[in-house]
Structure 1
Amino acid sequence: MSEPFSDIQQVEMAIKAAQRMVGQATMNMDEDQLKAATESLEQAKKQYADALAHATGVSDEFFEFSSELIERLDHQLTEAKD
């Protein structure tokens, strides 16, 4: 049986999913896609916060990089909605 994904893998997958959805939504400017991208980004933020709260032995660089990605995606979505 395969092992469950670690917190770090969950964060990485959530951010990658949010990146794809935000990119697609901001290219098409479709209201439903923007809403789905927002929900995906919120999930990535939650996964990030959960991993940060339980971080043991994880480099600060990972969290710094992930935080920057999330901030960029958040900014991209905000700009598209305005």
Structure 2
Amino acid sequence: MCWYDTVYLGSQGFRVPFRDHKLLQEVAVAHMAQAGVVPITWVAVGAELQADWRNSTGQELNQIMGEHLPFYGNLFASFLAAKG
């Protein structure tokens, strides 16, 4: 069964098991983009919510981001070094 068959049958109310999660994600993002949604990552959401490392939650965000993105820890360390 092709992915478009799965999407069509799902839209008709049928429960269709779908094992290719990567393809399902790509199809869902494509549908959202067609509807005008601008896809972003959790990193962008965190950065937008933080807005500025000087905010009180800057250290906590650095810890979370640094666990998942090694370069982010380096970036924050250079920020702290420049800050003095």
TM over 0.5: no
Q: Please, what TM-score do these two structures have when normalized by structure 1?
A: 0.35
Higher-Rg structure is 2
| Structure having greater relative contact order (Cα 8 Å, sep ≥ 6) | 1
Whose helix fraction is larger, Structure 1's or Structure 2's? 1
Q: Please, what TM-score do these two structures have when normalized by structure 2?
A: 0.35
